[in-house]
Structure 1
Amino acid sequence: MSTERVDGRTLRFQHRRPELLAAVTDYVLTHGVTELSLRPLAQALGVTHATLLRHFSSKEELITSVVDKIRTDLTDRLTGDEQLRAADSAAELVKALWPRLCEPREQRQFLLLFEMVGHNGWKPEGDLGSARSLVGDWLDVLVGKLMQDGWPPEDASALATLLLAQVRGLQLDLLVSGDRARVDRALEFSLRLLERPAARDTPGSHG
C-alpha cells in the first residue's frame, strides 16, 4: 500500500487535469525546468507523485504540456482581450501587449525560454521542440497582422522574425538591467520598422 499522503488537493486534482496543469504551469514558470523533479513538484502542490504520473507520464511530457498551455493562454489573450483585438496594425498590437509582457508574472515565460535554450541549445541531441513552439506561435500572429497591414508574405515573415528577436532581446535586457525607460524607448524606435508599406513609398517619405 502506498504511504504517500493524500489530502484534499490530491482528491481535487485527481480527475481534473486542467486545474492541475494550471498549478503545474505556475510552478514551472516560477521555478524553471533545469532542476525540475516530479516528487518535489508533487509535494509543493500538495498532491501525490502518483497523481502527477496519472496525468503526465514523464517529466518531458509535463514540460511539453506546460509549454502548450503557455501558448494556448497567449492565443486566448490575443483573441479574447478587447484592447488587443482592437489594434489596427502590428505596431499597435505590440504597443498594447508590451506593458503586459513587462509585468513580472508575464516575464517568466521569457525566463523559461532562455533557460530551455541555455540548458539544451548547445547539445546536438537536445530536444528544443517545446522551446521552438514558444517562438512559432508568436511568429504566426505577427505575420498575420503584418500581412493585414499590407506587407507581402515574404517581407512579413522576415519582419516578424526581426520584431520577435527584438522583443526577446529587449526582455533579456530588461531582466538584466531593470532599465525600463531605456528599453521602452528602444522598442518604440524599432516599431518604426512596421510603418505600412504604402506610407513608406509615398513621395518625400524618405526625407
Structure 2
Amino acid sequence: MNEHVDGRKLRFEHRRDEVLRAATEHALDHGLAGLSLRKVAETVGVSHATLVHHFGTKDGLVAEIVDLVLARSLTVPDLADDDPDPLGTVWERGTSDDGRRYVRLFTAITGHAMHGDPALRDAVARSMRQRTALLAAGLTRHGCPEPEATTLATSLLSTLRGLLVDLLVTDEEERVHAAFADLAAELERRSARWRPASSPTPG
C-alpha cells in the first residue's frame, strides 16, 4: 500500500536544505538528547525514508544540525562588510530571542564535545576556527594589524561566549549588557590606534 503523501510532505521531499532547517528547529526546541530520525520525521512532517535518503543515519543528521547551529552561533550571516558596529550587531543578534536559542544549543553541544564525543569535538573545533578566522578578517578590514587580528578575534569570541552563557544562566540583563558595553568600549579605544589621525571614527 502506498503511503499517503500530503502537501507538506511533498513540499519537503526534494528540499534537503528545508528539511535540515526544520530538523534544526526541532533540535533548538528539544535539544539533541534523545533525538531520533523517526521523532524528527514526525515533528517535521516528512517520512522516515526521506530523512534516511537525505542524511543516511541519525549521526549524519546530527552532524549537519551541529554544523548549522555552530555556524549561526556568534555569527551574523548577512553582516555587511561596512557595518560600522559589527561587534554590536553580533551581540544584538546573539541576545535576541532567536539568537539565544542557538547559543543555548551551542552551549549544550560544546558541553557534549568536552566530554569526549569525537564527532562533536571536531565540529566544535572546526566551528571555532572558522568563526575566529571570519572575525579576524573583519577586524583586519577595520584596520587591525594582521599580526594582532587572530589573537584579538580569539579573545573577543571567548568573551562573547562567556557573556552569553552568563546571560542565559543568570538572566541578569543589566549586569551582562554593561559588561558587553565595557568590552565594546575597550575595542573602540584599541581600534582608535589603528586609524590614521585624519580618519573619522566609524558610526
Flag whether TM exceeds 0.5 (same fold). Answer: yes
Pair 1:50 & 2:43 matched: no
1:98-113 alignment, distance < 5 Å: 98-113=91-106
State the shift of 1:124 in Å. Answer: 6.9
After the TM superposition, which parts of structure 1 deviate over 4 Å for at least 4 consecutive aligned residues? 72-75
Match of 2:37 in 1: 38
Match of 1:162 in 2: 155
Q: Deviations over 1:29-86 (max 9, x none)?
A: 22221221111111111221111111111122212222444427956322xxxxx443
Counterpart contact for 2:22–2:44, Cα < 8 Å:
yes
Q: Deviations over 1:135-172 (max 9, x none)?
A: 23321221012222333333211111111011111110
Q: Deviations over 1:98-123 (max 9, x none)?
A: 12211121112211221112123122
Match of 1:87 in 2: 83
Change in Cα spacing, 1:124 to 1:86, as seen in structure 2 (3 Å) is: closer
AA aligned opposite 1:154 = P
In 1: Cα distance, 2:52 partner to 2:77 partner: 27
Pair 1:187 & 2:180 matched: yes
Gaps of 5+ in 1: 79-83, 203-207
In 2: Cα distance, 1:132 partner to 1:35 partner: 24
Match of 2:193 in 1: 198
Counterpart contact for 1:120–1:128, Cα < 8 Å:
yes
Change in Cα spacing, 1:69 to 1:124, as seen in structure 2 (3 Å) is: closer
Q: How many residues align?
A: 193
Change in Cα spacing, 1:133 to 1:26, as seen in structure 2 (3 Å) is: farther
In 2: Cα distance, 1:126 partner to 1:55 partner: 19
1:173-184 alignment, distance < 5 Å: 173-184=166-177
- Paired-residue identity, %: 34
- Over aligned residues, Cα RMSD in angstroms? 2.7
3-state DSSP class of the match of 1:128? helix
Change in Cα spacing, 1:124 to 1:30, as seen in structure 2 (3 Å) is: closer
State the shift of 1:186 in Å. Answer: 0.3
Gaps of 5+ in 2: 198-203
Counterpart contact for 1:170–1:183, Cα < 8 Å:
yes
AA aligned opposite 2:34 = E
AA aligned opposite 1:123 = G
In 1: Cα distance, 2:67 partner to 2:162 partner: 22
Match of 1:123 in 2: 116
AA aligned opposite 1:168 = R
- TM-score relative to the length of structure 2: 0.82
Q: Which is further off, 146-155 or 173-182?
A: 146-155
Match of 1:27 in 2: 26
Counterpart contact for 1:67–1:134, Cα < 8 Å:
no
In 2: Cα distance, 1:106 partner to 1:147 partner: 26
